[in-house]
Chains A and B, each alone.
Chain A
Amino acid sequence: MTKDDCKKLVIDIISDIAPDEDLTAIKPEIKLRDQLQLDSMDFLDIVMELRKRHGIEVPEADYSHLASLESCAEYLTPKFATKA
């Protein structure tokens, strides 16, 4: 899985959590919270969906890695690789 594939999977999850948001213009380096109306419950939902859909566990201490699309890809891509 490439980092771009990983970003796409994260965007898939966000589009279900926040269906009213326009996700076509997300800037990967900018914090998701600064571009979208996401609160701490939404980030918890991302964690739950990663577990449900992809069997990936994000420990609480690592939640900060989910801040931007770029940091998500950086952190999650190796996790997808280990799983495969």
Chain B
Amino acid sequence: MAYDWLKGIEDHYDIVVIGSGLGGLTGANVLAKCGHKVLLLEHHYQLGGLATWFTRKGGHIFDISLHGFPIGMIKSIRKYWSQDIANSIVQLKGVRFINPQFSIDTTFDREDFTRQLVEKFQVPAETVERFFTDLRAMNFYDNSQETTGQMFARYFPGRDDVQRLLMEPIAYANGSTLDDPAITFGIVFSNFMSKGVYTFQGGSDVLIKKMGVELKTNGVEVRKHVVVEKVLTEERDGRKQVTGVVANGRTIRCDVVLSNANIKNTVLRLAGEESFTPEFVAQAKAIRVNTSSCQVYLGIRKGETLPHIGDLVFTSEEPVFSSEKLVDLHTTSRTFSMYYPDTRPGTDRYTVVVSINAKYDDWNNLNEEQYATEKQRLIDESIAALEKYIPDVRGKIEWQEAATPRTIERYTRHWAGTSFGTKFEGLKVSMDLPAQLPGLYHAGSVGIIMSGWLGTINYGVIVANQIDKALAAKKRAAPAQPANA
């Protein structure tokens, strides 16, 4: 008989959290610190969702997520996790852009971008100042129909080079395009511009393991290898509400489910269409999931070294930036995340993770032979591109491997293998969920702004607050239980 991954769990929890992406992990931690009984279920054998890593023979460790987030992470990690984890966050100072329109080195903050835009791109200082100030004032509830492309045209008409500088890094960070609402660009870009790009020193493995320890300390019951198949509901007082989940074939009762699964998975698969009004189901179906990513992992042989060519290197051979070209199966746009030994202090190893934006359908429609061929092409093209900056790199590579949107689908179960959550409309459905089905909450990558490391952590806290509020109200309303009933 197979091992029972749910062995020893209790029959009832205040909250069951589905999925251990950063939103699920953080929501679980905050709720446990509020005194609730929390069970966290993860289908994979490792926590972290996309904030994860894998190891390969030869001592190679590869981080999955693009390793850059805004300075706000320091504060969020300190408040919702621990000072110890926050202490490991360090700045990535070497951000580079290399493409046919320009080649620049930057610290990716407002001060340096202002200097580059004025000196190198010859944009009037007053325009740059106005652009940054206006962006800073944007709020997610602003009711503006303007797209990012229209906004760029307003501040920098006819300047597709400026547009590229501003848009390309954010497209890698959250999959947004020139056609998405301007606020989705404004909020994320402003967060980065405040102080630059930061990363977790020690690697995703150390971060997630520390979070796992913290969860245990705070009393969260964490179980891996557990697939939640269904969110259970019952009709009470004439209204459907959440009563539990079925996981690995077993029923677990709870008052609240916090789903860190994709919002479409949550509504259409886990709770199921029968749990909602036809209008809400239609809204959930209409949510567009974002595009996805491919990655190429290059492990450098022990003893070999690489020169410092920057930390995050945005490269492209496209003559101008285009959101369509960026996700094309044959795109020449790639970001090199360079991992030097100081990424994981105490080791002497180098790795390179190449990120390439991609469309799920392009990869999902391939047969197995084509799939293997295309993956190899991706690896070959990435190494050839890297040789332009490190001519002798090929001979130093000991391990090479590629991941695609299909890989992401397999390990995260995300709808259509998305690596960037949903388009803007996903946020409304996510936030409306508990009003539609009492007891069901969602905190995952939605709406572009609640995405990325910082967005998803903060969204986990926002939703945890709503759950804590609902459970506190329930406790107040319930008559006091006799001590020995």
Q: Give me the interface of A with B, judged by CB distance under 8 Å.
A: 17, 39, 41, 44-45, 47-48, 51-52, 55, 57
Question: Least Cβ distance of A78 to chain B in Å?
Answer: 18
Given contacts A52-B468, A55-B472, 17 further A-B contacts (CB under 8 A): A17-B79, A39-B72, A41-B79, A41-B458, A41-B461, A44-B461, A44-B462, A45-B79, A47-B465, A48-B30, A48-B34, A48-B465, A51-B468, A51-B472, A52-B35, A57-B469, A57-B473
**Most chain B CB neighbours (cut-off 10 Å) among A41, A51, A55, A57:** A41
State the CA gap A51–B79 with chains docked (Å): 17
| A-B interface, 4 closest residue pairs, ranked by CB to CB distance from nearest | A48-B465, A41-B458, A44-B465, A52-B34
CB contacts (< 8 Å) of B79 on chain A: these are 17, 41, 45
CB of B322 within 8 Å of the partner chain: no
Q: Quick one: which of B75, B462, B472 has the most chain A CB within 10 A?
A: B75
Q: For B458, what are the chain A residues with a Cβ–Cβ distance below 8 Å? A: 41
Interface residues of B (CB under 8 A from A): 30, 34-35, 72, 75-76, 79, 458, 461-462, 465, 468-469, 472-473
Contact B472–A57 (Cβ < 8 Å): yes
Closest to B76 in A: A41
A-B contact pairs, 17 of them (CB 8 A): A17-B79, A39-B72, A41-B75, A44-B462, A45-B79, A47-B465, A48-B30, A48-B34, A48-B465, A48-B468, A51-B472, A52-B34, A52-B35, A52-B468, A57-B469, A57-B472, A57-B473
- With a cutoff of 8 Å between Cβ atoms, the chain B residues found around residue A57 in the complex are 469, 472-473
Bound Cα distance A44, B80 (Å): 12
Assess whether A51 is in contact with B469, with CB atoms less than 8 Å apart.
yes
* Least Cβ–Cβ distance between A41 and chain B, in angstroms: 6
Rounded to whole angstroms, the CA-CA distance of A82 and B417 in the bound complex is 51
Q: Report chain A residues within 8 Å CB of B468.
A: 48, 51-52
Min distance, Cβ A77 to any Cβ of chain B, angstroms: 20
For the complex, what is the distance from the CA of A39 to the CA of B473, rounded to whole Å? Answer: 26
Q: How far is the CA of A57 from the CA of B468 in the complex (A)?
A: 11
**Interchain CA distance A51-B475 in the complex, whole Å:** 13
Of all chain B residues, which has the CB nearest A17? B79
Q: Find the A residue at minimum CB distance from B476.
A: A55
Residues on A with C-beta less than 8 A from B35 are 52
Cβ–Cβ < 8 Å partners of B462 in chain A: 44
Chain B neighbourhood of A47, CB < 8 A:
465
Give the docked Cα–Cα distance between A44 and B26 (Å): 15
* Cα–Cα distance between A57 and B35 once the two chains are bound (Å): 16
